[in-house]
Protein backbone atom coordinates (compact mmCIF):
# COMPACT_ATOMS: atom_id res chain seq x y z
CA UNK A 1 0.00 0.00 0.00
CA UNK A 2 2.97 2.29 0.61
CA UNK A 3 3.73 2.79 -3.07
CA UNK A 4 0.28 4.12 -3.95
CA UNK A 5 -0.79 5.96 -0.80
CA UNK A 6 -0.74 9.37 -2.48
CA UNK A 7 -2.86 8.10 -5.36
CA UNK A 8 -5.21 6.48 -2.87
CA UNK A 9 -5.63 9.77 -1.01
CA UNK A 10 -6.27 11.60 -4.27
CA UNK A 11 -8.82 9.04 -5.46
CA UNK A 12 -10.76 9.13 -2.19
CA UNK A 13 -10.74 12.92 -1.82
CA UNK A 14 -14.42 13.38 -2.69
CA UNK A 15 -15.53 11.09 0.13
CA UNK A 16 -13.52 12.78 2.89
CA UNK A 17 -15.01 15.04 5.51
CA UNK A 18 -13.94 18.68 5.69
CA UNK A 19 -11.32 17.91 8.33
CA UNK A 20 -10.05 14.88 6.47
CA UNK A 21 -9.65 16.95 3.31
CA UNK A 22 -7.40 19.33 5.23
CA UNK A 23 -5.24 16.38 6.24
CA UNK A 24 -5.27 14.93 2.72
CA UNK A 25 -4.26 18.19 1.06
CA UNK A 26 -1.41 18.72 3.51
CA UNK A 27 -0.07 15.19 2.96
CA UNK A 28 -0.28 15.52 -0.81
CA UNK A 29 1.69 18.77 -0.73
CA UNK A 30 4.07 18.12 2.18
CA UNK A 31 4.29 14.33 2.38
CA UNK A 32 8.02 14.50 3.16
CA UNK A 33 7.24 16.37 6.39
CA UNK A 34 3.94 14.64 7.21
CA UNK A 35 5.61 11.23 7.16
CA UNK A 36 7.60 12.10 10.26
CA UNK A 37 4.89 13.91 12.24
CA UNK A 38 2.96 12.37 15.09
CA UNK A 39 -0.83 12.26 14.73
CA UNK A 40 -1.07 15.08 17.26
CA UNK A 41 1.48 17.22 15.44
CA UNK A 42 -0.20 16.69 12.08
CA UNK A 43 -3.59 17.53 13.57
CA UNK A 44 -2.32 20.79 15.06
CA UNK A 45 -0.62 21.71 11.79
CA UNK A 46 -3.88 21.51 9.81
CA UNK A 47 -6.15 22.59 12.71
CA UNK A 48 -8.01 19.32 13.30
CA UNK A 49 -8.13 16.97 16.29
CA UNK A 50 -5.77 14.03 16.75
CA UNK A 51 -8.75 11.68 16.59
CA UNK A 52 -9.63 13.06 13.15
CA UNK A 53 -6.13 12.19 11.95
CA UNK A 54 -6.48 8.65 13.32
CA UNK A 55 -9.88 8.23 11.64
CA UNK A 56 -8.37 9.47 8.39
CA UNK A 57 -5.78 6.68 8.51
CA UNK A 58 -8.47 4.08 9.22
CA UNK A 59 -10.57 5.48 6.36
CA UNK A 60 -7.66 4.73 4.03
CA UNK A 61 -7.60 1.11 5.18
CA UNK A 62 -4.82 1.20 7.77
CA UNK A 63 -5.14 -0.23 11.27
CA UNK A 64 -4.16 3.11 12.70
CA UNK A 65 -2.02 6.19 12.21
CA UNK A 66 1.34 4.47 12.89
CA UNK A 67 0.76 2.07 10.00
CA UNK A 68 -0.13 4.90 7.63
CA UNK A 69 2.91 6.85 8.79
CA UNK A 70 5.18 3.87 8.09
CA UNK A 71 3.68 3.58 4.62
CA UNK A 72 4.51 7.22 3.91
CA UNK A 73 8.03 6.79 5.27
CA UNK A 74 8.66 3.71 3.14
CA UNK A 75 7.52 5.61 0.08
CA UNK A 76 9.80 8.60 0.52
CA UNK A 77 12.89 7.49 2.38
CA UNK A 78 14.89 6.72 -0.72
CA UNK A 79 13.69 9.87 -2.47
CA UNK A 80 14.61 12.60 -0.02
CA UNK A 81 17.45 14.86 -1.08
CA UNK A 82 20.00 16.11 1.43
CA UNK A 83 18.22 19.46 1.60
CA UNK A 84 14.89 17.75 2.32
CA UNK A 85 16.57 15.68 5.04
CA UNK A 86 17.72 18.86 6.74
CA UNK A 87 14.21 20.31 6.57
CA UNK A 88 12.63 17.13 7.97
CA UNK A 89 15.15 16.93 10.82
CA UNK A 90 14.65 20.58 11.74
CA UNK A 91 10.89 20.09 11.73
CA UNK A 92 11.04 16.91 13.85
CA UNK A 93 13.46 18.20 16.48
CA UNK A 94 12.66 21.89 16.36
CA UNK A 95 14.25 23.76 19.25
CA UNK A 96 14.12 20.69 21.51
CA UNK A 97 16.85 18.63 23.11
CA UNK A 98 18.81 17.18 20.19
CA UNK A 99 20.63 14.60 22.33
CA UNK A 100 17.40 13.20 23.79
CA UNK A 101 15.61 13.23 20.44
CA UNK A 102 18.35 11.32 18.64
CA UNK A 103 19.04 8.77 21.38
CA UNK A 104 15.36 8.07 21.98
CA UNK A 105 14.91 7.59 18.24
CA UNK A 106 17.80 5.12 18.17
CA UNK A 107 16.38 3.17 21.11
CA UNK A 108 13.05 2.96 19.31
CA UNK A 109 14.71 1.65 16.13
CA UNK A 110 16.42 -1.15 18.07
CA UNK A 111 13.10 -2.06 19.71
CA UNK A 112 11.34 -2.19 16.34
CA UNK A 113 14.15 -4.30 14.88
CA UNK A 114 13.92 -6.81 17.72
CA UNK A 115 10.14 -7.08 17.41
CA UNK A 116 10.29 -7.76 13.66
CA UNK A 117 13.34 -10.04 13.61
CA UNK A 118 12.85 -13.47 12.06
CA UNK A 119 14.94 -15.84 14.21
CA UNK A 120 14.85 -18.68 11.67
CA UNK A 121 16.17 -16.46 8.88
CA UNK A 122 18.81 -15.01 11.22
CA UNK A 123 20.12 -18.46 12.19
CA UNK A 124 19.99 -19.69 8.60
CA UNK A 125 22.00 -16.66 7.46
CA UNK A 126 24.65 -17.33 10.12
CA UNK A 127 24.85 -21.00 9.02
CA UNK A 128 25.18 -19.98 5.37
CA UNK A 129 28.03 -17.61 6.17
CA UNK A 130 29.83 -20.32 8.16
CA UNK A 131 29.36 -22.93 5.43
CA UNK A 132 30.73 -20.73 2.64
CA UNK A 133 33.96 -21.45 0.81
CA UNK A 134 34.61 -17.73 0.71
CA UNK A 135 32.73 -14.84 2.26
CA UNK A 136 32.50 -11.48 0.53
CA UNK A 137 31.36 -8.48 2.57
CA UNK A 138 29.95 -5.55 0.65
CA UNK A 139 28.83 -2.10 1.78
CA UNK A 140 29.54 1.33 0.33
CA UNK A 141 29.06 4.93 1.36
CA UNK A 142 27.65 5.10 4.92
CA UNK A 143 27.17 1.32 4.91
CA UNK A 144 30.92 0.87 4.48
CA UNK A 145 31.36 1.48 8.21
CA UNK A 146 29.08 -1.47 8.96
CA UNK A 147 30.85 -3.66 6.40
CA UNK A 148 34.28 -2.75 7.80
CA UNK A 149 33.21 -3.53 11.36
CA UNK A 150 31.83 -6.93 10.39
CA UNK A 151 34.86 -7.62 8.19
CA UNK A 152 37.33 -6.74 10.96
CA UNK A 153 35.97 -9.35 13.35
CA UNK A 154 35.30 -11.98 10.69
CA UNK A 155 38.91 -11.70 9.51
CA UNK A 156 40.10 -12.29 13.08
CA UNK A 157 38.00 -15.45 13.28
CA UNK A 158 38.37 -16.92 9.78
CA UNK A 159 40.72 -16.93 6.80
CA UNK A 160 38.20 -17.03 3.96
CA UNK A 161 36.86 -13.48 4.28
CA UNK A 162 37.18 -10.63 1.79
CA UNK A 163 35.97 -7.12 2.48
CA UNK A 164 35.04 -5.63 -0.88
CA UNK A 165 36.33 -2.08 -0.84
CA UNK A 166 35.81 -0.15 -4.04
CA UNK A 167 35.45 3.45 -5.13
CA UNK A 168 33.72 2.61 -8.39
CA UNK A 169 31.44 -0.02 -9.89
CA UNK A 170 34.26 -1.41 -12.04
CA UNK A 171 36.59 -1.86 -9.04
CA UNK A 172 33.81 -3.60 -7.14
CA UNK A 173 33.22 -6.14 -9.92
CA UNK A 174 36.97 -6.74 -10.26
CA UNK A 175 36.99 -7.92 -6.64
CA UNK A 176 33.86 -10.03 -7.13
CA UNK A 177 34.86 -11.62 -10.44
CA UNK A 178 35.65 -15.01 -8.85
CA UNK A 179 32.46 -15.33 -6.81
CA UNK A 180 30.93 -18.74 -7.39
CA UNK A 181 28.47 -21.31 -6.04
CA UNK A 182 29.53 -22.29 -2.54
CA UNK A 183 30.53 -18.71 -1.71
CA UNK A 184 28.47 -16.35 0.39
CA UNK A 185 28.00 -12.61 0.07
CA UNK A 186 26.80 -10.26 2.81
CA UNK A 187 25.51 -7.07 1.20
CA UNK A 188 24.57 -4.06 3.31
CA UNK A 189 22.49 -1.17 2.03
CA UNK A 190 20.09 1.34 3.56
CA UNK A 191 18.30 4.38 2.14
CA UNK A 192 19.40 6.09 0.05
CA UNK A 193 20.29 2.74 -1.54
CA UNK A 194 23.57 2.63 -3.45
CA UNK A 195 23.12 1.56 -7.08
CA UNK A 196 26.60 -0.02 -6.94
CA UNK A 197 25.51 -2.35 -4.16
CA UNK A 198 22.32 -3.33 -5.98
CA UNK A 199 24.26 -4.18 -9.17
CA UNK A 200 26.85 -6.18 -7.24
CA UNK A 201 24.19 -8.15 -5.36
CA UNK A 202 22.46 -9.02 -8.62
CA UNK A 203 25.75 -10.22 -10.11
CA UNK A 204 26.55 -12.42 -7.08
CA UNK A 205 23.04 -13.88 -7.18
CA UNK A 206 23.38 -14.62 -10.90
CA UNK A 207 26.75 -16.32 -10.26
CA UNK A 208 25.09 -18.76 -7.85
CA UNK A 209 26.50 -17.48 -4.57
CA UNK A 210 24.40 -17.53 -1.41
CA UNK A 211 23.39 -13.93 -0.83
CA UNK A 212 22.58 -12.43 2.56
CA UNK A 213 21.16 -8.90 2.64
CA UNK A 214 21.20 -6.57 5.63
CA UNK A 215 18.77 -3.76 4.85
CA UNK A 216 15.75 -1.90 6.17
CA UNK A 217 12.83 -3.81 4.65
CA UNK A 218 11.73 -6.54 2.27
CA UNK A 219 10.98 -3.78 -0.26
CA UNK A 220 14.65 -2.81 -0.41
CA UNK A 221 16.12 -3.21 -3.92
CA UNK A 222 18.81 -5.60 -2.65
CA UNK A 223 16.25 -7.91 -1.00
CA UNK A 224 15.19 -9.12 -4.45
CA UNK A 225 18.56 -10.82 -4.97
CA UNK A 226 19.00 -12.26 -1.47
CA UNK A 227 18.49 -15.81 -0.21
CA UNK A 228 18.25 -14.44 3.33
CA UNK A 229 17.14 -10.93 4.29
CA UNK A 230 18.00 -9.50 7.70
CA UNK A 231 16.04 -6.32 8.36
CA UNK A 232 17.00 -3.55 10.76
CA UNK A 233 15.27 -0.20 11.20
CA UNK A 234 17.26 2.82 10.11
CA UNK A 235 16.38 6.49 10.28
CA UNK A 236 17.44 9.86 8.99
CA UNK A 237 18.79 12.37 11.48
CA UNK A 238 19.46 15.41 9.34
CA UNK A 239 22.24 14.49 6.88
CA UNK A 240 23.28 11.53 9.03
CA UNK A 241 21.99 7.99 8.56
CA UNK A 242 21.19 6.45 11.93
CA UNK A 243 22.62 2.93 11.70
CA UNK A 244 22.47 1.95 15.36
CA UNK A 245 19.96 -0.87 14.85
CA UNK A 246 21.86 -2.32 11.86
CA UNK A 247 25.03 -2.30 13.97
CA UNK A 248 23.18 -4.21 16.70
CA UNK A 249 22.11 -6.77 14.09
CA UNK A 250 25.74 -7.14 13.00
CA UNK A 251 26.82 -7.59 16.61
CA UNK A 252 24.21 -10.32 17.03
CA UNK A 253 25.36 -12.02 13.82
CA UNK A 254 28.99 -11.99 14.98
CA UNK A 255 28.06 -13.49 18.34
CA UNK A 256 25.90 -16.17 16.71
CA UNK A 257 28.69 -17.12 14.31
CA UNK A 258 31.36 -17.21 17.03
CA UNK A 259 29.20 -19.43 19.27
CA UNK A 260 28.89 -21.97 16.47
CA UNK A 261 32.71 -22.24 16.27
CA UNK A 262 33.50 -21.74 19.95
CA UNK A 263 36.26 -24.36 20.35
CA UNK A 264 38.12 -23.45 17.15
CA UNK A 265 37.99 -19.74 17.92
CA UNK A 266 39.29 -20.25 21.44
CA UNK A 267 42.60 -21.53 20.01
CA UNK A 268 42.72 -18.73 17.45
CA UNK A 269 42.27 -16.00 20.04
CA UNK A 270 44.75 -17.58 22.44
CA UNK A 271 47.33 -17.25 19.66
CA UNK A 272 46.22 -13.69 18.91
CA UNK A 273 46.51 -12.70 22.56
CA UNK A 274 50.14 -13.93 22.60
CA UNK A 275 50.89 -11.95 19.45
CA UNK A 276 49.19 -8.81 20.74
CA UNK A 277 51.12 -9.07 23.99
CA UNK A 278 54.49 -9.78 22.36
CA UNK A 279 54.24 -6.93 19.89
CA UNK A 280 52.55 -4.53 22.31
CA UNK A 281 49.50 -3.99 20.14
CA UNK A 282 47.48 -2.65 23.05
CA UNK A 283 48.40 -0.27 25.83
CA UNK A 284 48.68 -1.93 29.20
CA UNK A 285 46.57 0.00 31.66
CA UNK A 286 47.20 -0.52 35.35
CA UNK A 287 44.04 -1.31 37.39
Q: Average of pLDDT values for 115-139?
A: 96
Q: What is the pLDDT of residue 165?
A: 80
Reduce the secondary structure of the chain to three states and give it as a string: CHHHHHHHHHHCHHHCCHHHHHHHHHHHHHHHHHCCCCHHHHHHHHCCCHHHHHHHHHHCCCCCHHHHHHHHHHHHCCCCCHHHHHHHHHHHHCCCCHHHHHHHHHHHHHHHHHHHCCHHHHHHHHHHHHHCCCEEEECCCCHHHHHHHHHHHHHHHCCCEEEECCCCHHHHHHHHCCCCCCCEEEEECCCCCCHHHHHHHHHHHHCCCEEEEEECCCCCCCHHHCCEEEECCCEEECCEEECHHHHHHHHHHHHHHHHHCHHHHHHHHHHHHHHHHHCCCCCCCCC
Residue of 236 and 58 predicted with greater confidence: 58
The answer to whether residue 195 scores a pLDDT higher than 80 is: yes
Q: What is the pLDDT of residue 94?
A: 60
pTM listed for this prediction? 0.72
Residue of 129 and 276 predicted with greater confidence: 129
Q: Which domains does the chain have, with CATH numbers?
A: 2-113 (1.10.10.10), 117-278 (3.40.50.10490)
Q: What is the pLDDT of residue 169?
A: 79
Q: What is the pLDDT of residue 1?
A: 41
As a whole number, the mean pLDDT across the chain is: 87
Q: Average of pLDDT values for 263-271?
A: 81
Q: Tell me the pLDDT tens digit for each residue of 38-94.
A: 899 999 999 999 999 999 999 998 999 998 988 887 776 656 665 555 565 566 556
Q: Tell me the pLDDT tens digit for each residue of 222-232.
A: 999 999 999 99
Amino acid sequence: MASDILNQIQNNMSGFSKGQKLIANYILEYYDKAAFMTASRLGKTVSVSESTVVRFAVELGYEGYPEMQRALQEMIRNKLTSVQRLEVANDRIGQGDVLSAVLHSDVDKIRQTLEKADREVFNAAADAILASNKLYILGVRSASALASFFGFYMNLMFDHVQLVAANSTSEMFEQLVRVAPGDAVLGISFPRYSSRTVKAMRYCHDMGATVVALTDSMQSPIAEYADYVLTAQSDMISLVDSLVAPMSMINALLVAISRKRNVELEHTFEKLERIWDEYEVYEKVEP
